[in-house]
Structure 1
């Protein structure tokens, strides 16, 4: 159906060259058959080679280990069924405008990256558990966030690991220039998504899930009622006691300035922060996402 437009890059470098060629041809619609990490790679390359005021529309088919982005603004159908629908009805399918999350390294150690779901501290540790072969083999793909969080909290059952996990990592966080956190963090999450799978939504305050900006969640070290909080947040609920607790903080911001030693995760892939352990999180350029 796509002829020469059906492209299967064999490496990240080849994918970058493919996007550069599409930009040179001013291709206005790019379909991505892959998981969150692939979508992040493609958005990053598109933003590099296309003018920011002339970005192509994207269509995302769920086909990876994690498909949070597709669940929010992608196709429900997979593979050939999704492609057939796109080819036949591209002009009439709905399009949602959305700004992804942009991660920048303050000292320009790396080029900025675009994505949708970021995590640091305990989330980065938990991703290592979620990426282990037995979890990837048996865990349902649409439960990626739940499996990761359960893996993180499940480690608390082991005495030798418990204190390391509960102590977390030293974190400073500024939201739109205001210092919010200067201490230990058990878990930190941020996202440009507006919904997750199965009603999971571990964020509150600063507007509803459909509002603009980046949503974030910070869980302090040795948090009180951790299991009760986890159960509530996995069900998309933030009871009054949780909102009032100093151990849990959620909000929304246009720019987050985060310092945290250790790798962070963007759409399932691990990256190192800058030399000063610092990254900037902001809204990226606006894309149009075609979906069913």
Structure 2
């Protein structure tokens, strides 16, 4: 743990910015030196480097006493989810400051959706400039969060992207193949996307990457479906990796949900809709979309929330809720 207060200027008019870093996140493993350099050159910055995820509460407790105008989370999607969970459930702040992110992990989908793309140190300079120029209020936006309840009695996990079926299989394939080749993250995602589509069309040895075990999906008051699916996802983001928007506009709620049935024809129609924007404008045979504040799943396929993988308990539904929101900084 490192808490750096050397740049706090007593009585300064520059708003205080609090930064929480996970030095073990993928990008940070080689880039923390540049982050520290920017911080050391900046006034009114409190920086806490995590010594494990279990020190997040310590960091947020200190930040709450300092009353920052902005909190910056420097880490990957997993770190972001853990910090959001602590903010949501541990109640460190009476009023939660707006939250910003640095793209310090592999996928950085949550950060990218708010415009935080590129080198983390450059993004940090932009955020500190917004604070020093008094423009935080002009950059705020609201985002709903996903609360994932595994039915195990633990606090829900918090994030912005949920997936199961082919989504999880795609994550496993990317980690075991594309990432091990050392290719850039964006290229790894393209490779995984092509691999999954190829599997659906019978290309390659793995022809079941986009076929789930039987599952039941319930959108209260809107839909109840059962069967096997190629891909199932729910998100509160505007854009996913590669700029994809695989969700429609049926119903109300913070969760944007879609489930695609297996089969080459269904995948072809869904893929064409992704390219043309058809998910938003019309129904697609073999594809189910809804907006809701609650979705329940029952099945045996692993599920993911922001890249973290969880195994459901047989017979115990997994529940998503999307009715809570926080304030974030956007630089789009």
The separation in 1 between residues aligned to 2:103 and 2:276, in whole angstroms, is: 23
Aligned to 1:279: 318
1:238 paired with 2:283, answer no
Q: Which residue of 2 aligns with 1:248?
A: 287
Deviation at 1:166, TM superposition (A): 5.0
Deviation at residue 195 of structure 1 after TM alignment = 2.1
Give the ranges of 4+ consecutive aligned residues of structure 1 lying more than 6 Å apart after TM superposition. Answer: 239-242
Check whether the contact 2:249–2:280 (CA below 8 A) recurs between aligned residues.
no
Q: Normalised by the size of structure 1, how large is the TM-score?
A: 0.83
User: Cα distance, 1:193 vs. partner?
Assistant: 0.4
Mark the runs of 5 or more structure 2 residues left unpaired by the alignment.
1-41
**For the residues of structure 1 that align with 2:327 and 2:210, how far apart are their CA atoms?**
40
Q: Count how many residue pairs are aligned between Structure 1 and Structure 2.
A: 285
2: CA distance between counterparts of 1:241 and 1:212? Answer: 18
Q: Give the Cα–Cα distance (whole angstroms) in 2 for the partners of residues 239 and 82 of structure 1.
A: 32
| C-alpha spacing 1:79/1:166, structure 2 compared with 1 (3 Å) | closer
CA–CA distance in structure 2, aligned partners of residues 277 and 122 of structure 1 = 21
Query: Which of structures 1 and 2 has the larger relative contact order (alpha carbons within 8 angstroms, sep 6+)?
Result: 1
Distance, in Å, in 2 between the alignment partners of 1:218 and 1:71 is: 23
Change (3 A) 1:236 1:165: same
1:181 paired with 2:232, answer no
Cα distance in 2 for residues equivalent to 1:117 and 1:288: 17
Cα–Cα, structure 1 residues 77 and 199, in superposed 2: closer, same or farther, change >3 Å?
Answer: closer
Counterpart Cα distance in 2 of 1:285 and 1:27: 22
Is 1:101 the counterpart of 2:133? The answer is no
| Structure 1 segments unaligned to the other structure (5+ residues) | none
Q: Say which of 68, 92, 96 aligns to 2:135.
A: 92
Shift of 1:43: 0.8
For normalisation by structure 2, the TM-score amounts to 0.74
Which is greater in Rg? Answer: 2
